[in-house]
Amino acid sequence: MKTNPMKTTPSKTDTWWALFFLGPWLIGFLVFTLGPMAASLWFSVTRFTLPAAPVFVGFDNYGKLFTADPRFLGSLGVTFLYAGVTVPAGLILGFALAYFLNLKIPFARFWRTLYYMPAVVTPVITGTLFIGLFDPRHGLINYLLAQTGVAGPDWLLDPRYAMYAVMLISLWGVGGGMIIYLAGLQSISTELYEAADLDGASPTHRLWKITLPLMSPIIFYNLVVGIIGTFQLFTQVWVLTKGGPASSTEVFNIYLYKTAFEYQNMGYASAQAWVLFLLILALTALVFKSSSTWVYYENEVKG
C-alpha cells in the first residue's frame, strides 16, 4: 500500500506535546476570554446591580438601550462622530506622510523616526501631555494661536470644542499607520514605475494606477484596524476628560465603563458591551464585503 509522503499523521506523543505547549494559551483563553464572554452574554439578559444576584429579564436591557436611554444614543452619536472624522483623516494623513517620506528627501530616516515616535507613546502619557498643551490659559496651543491674533477656545473645558481636541490628539498618533504604509510602498517593484515612465505616465497616473491599487490591501488592513480602534476608544478620553464636559466626549466605552463600574449595573453594561461587539462586527463585515470592489491582491485585475 502506498502512502502519501507529504501527509503525516501526528503520533499520540506529538499530540500531547502540542497540547502541553498550547495549554497555557488555551487555559488563558477559556478563563479570561471565552468564560467572561459567556458570562457577560448571560448577564446581558439579567437585571444585575451589584451586590444583588442577577435576575433574568429577557431582552429588557437591549430594549431599553434603543428606546429609553438617550444617553446611550448620545454616546453612540459621539462615537460615530469621532470615528467618522478620525478614521478617514487617519488613513489619508498616514498614507500622505508615508508617501512623502518614501521620496528621496534629506534625512528621511530621521523624519520617519520622528513621525513614528508618537505611536509608541502610551495613551496615558499622550493624554497627560495634551492636557497641558490644550490648557486655555497656560497651554502652548493657545499661546501659538494668540501669536497669530487668534483667541484660542477653552478646548477640553468647553463642550463645543472638547471633542475636536480629542480628535486632534488622536491624529497625533498617525505614525502607527504611516509605518505600515511605508513598508508597503517600499515593497512595490520599481520596475512597474520604470515601465510606467517609459509609457509616459504622469505622477498622478502612477499614484492612481500603480501605487493605490497595490497598496489597497494595506489600506484595507488599516481601515479595519482603525474602525475597531475608534470604537474601542477609552483610555485617552478617560485621561483627558472622563467623558465631560457635559458629556461632550462621552464615547460609547466611557458610558459602558461608568454603567459597569460606577453605577454597578453589570447586566445593563453587559448588554451595551454586546451591542458594541455586534456593531464592530457588522461594520467590519461591511468593509470586508466592500473590499472585493476596491482591494487588489497580487496581480489581480478588476472590472
Give the interface with another protein as residue ranges (CB under 8 A): 47, 50-51, 55, 68, 70, 128, 131-132, 135-138, 151, 154, 156-160, 162, 239-248, 258, 261-264
Question: 154 vs 209, which CB is nearer to another protein?
Answer: 154
Give me the helices (H) in 102-234, please. Answer: 108-120, 123-133, 140-147, 162-171, 175-187, 190-198, 203-206, 212-231
Nearer to another protein, 49 or 284 (CB): 49
Task: State the DSSP string of 18-56.
Answer: HHHHHHHHHHHHIIIIIHHHHHHHHHTTEE-BTTSPPEE
118 vs 159 by CB, closer to another protein: 159
The least CB distance from residue 178 to another protein, in Å, is 28
Residue appearing with cell numbers 448588554: 271
Alpha-carbon 19 to chain mean position: 33
Q: From the CB of 52, what's the least distance to another protein, in Å?
A: 9
Cα→Cα distances 40→47, 142, 234, 282, 284, Å: 12, 45, 19, 20, 22
Minimum distance of another protein from residue 74's CB (angstroms): 11
Dig out the grid coordinates for 90 from the structure. Answer: 487617519
- Per the CB < 8 A criterion, the answer to whether 178 and 114 are in contact is no
Is the CB of 213 or the CB of 245 nearer to another protein? 245
CB of 174 to another protein, least distance (A): 24
For another protein, the closer of residues 41 and 154 by Cβ is 154
Q: How far is the CB of 70 from another protein (least distance, A)?
A: 8
